Amino acid sequence: MKEIVIASTNQGKIKEIKAMLNEIGIEVRSIQDVFEKEIDIEETGQTFQENALIKAQTICNMINKPTLADDSGLEVDALNGAPGIYSARFMGHDTSYDIKNQYIIDAVKGKERGARFVCAMALCIPHEDPILIEEYFYGEIYDHIEGENGFGYDPIFYVPELHKTSAALTLAEKNQYSHRAKALRKLYQILKGKP
């Protein structure tokens, strides 16, 4: 396999995946490199894995090339796993993460603070069974917003063993502990063994 198309427009995500897969000689192309117009795929799955598979399979069927998609988000124990698969759409697409983060901080006051980031990846290769990977990053909801790195819910996701939020981690720390980094390492090992 010489090339993989990433079913994403998230430049940060694409950069992370490129950095890892270029090491084993796999060229990574984004969905924007392949299609002139924006492709809108409805995520109708009930789990992160189902949504990743829907995205990867849809693009793979359209272009007949290996396609990788990921679906990730935050699950908060005190909110019964919310925002979960609706992490990006939680409280509405146009609601800023400052507002979403403050809402979650307020919602868990005096409750169990446990939380985890989930990353599900699906790699669809024409005429092969899909490869599915799911990894986690455990922590808790912090009592305030802190940190300048990362995006989304990173500023309220506290990592007890590192004594800081995900948004305060260095890139090296994030690449060691994060849900996406763990999933990418697993994918790397699988692809390294493929002819």
What mean pLDDT comes out for the span 38-45?
Answer: 87
pLDDT digits (tens, 9 = 90+) for 144-186: 999 998 789 999 999 999 999 999 998 888 888 999 889 988 9
Stronger pLDDT, 195 or 169, i.e. the higher one: 169
Q: Which residues are annotated as a binding site for Mg(2+)?
A: 42, 71
- Eight-state DSSP code of residue 129: P
Structure token digits, residue 132: 């599915």
In this predicted structure, the answer to whether residue 112 has a pLDDT above a threshold of 60 is yes
Answer yes or no: 71 catalytic. Answer: yes
Which pTM does this prediction carry? 0.90
Stronger pLDDT, 33 or 110, i.e. the higher one: 110
**For the chain, which domains are there?**
3-192 (3.90.950.10)
Annotated catalytic residue, options 33, 40, 71, 129: 71
In this predicted structure, the answer to whether residue 47 has a pLDDT above a threshold of 90 is yes
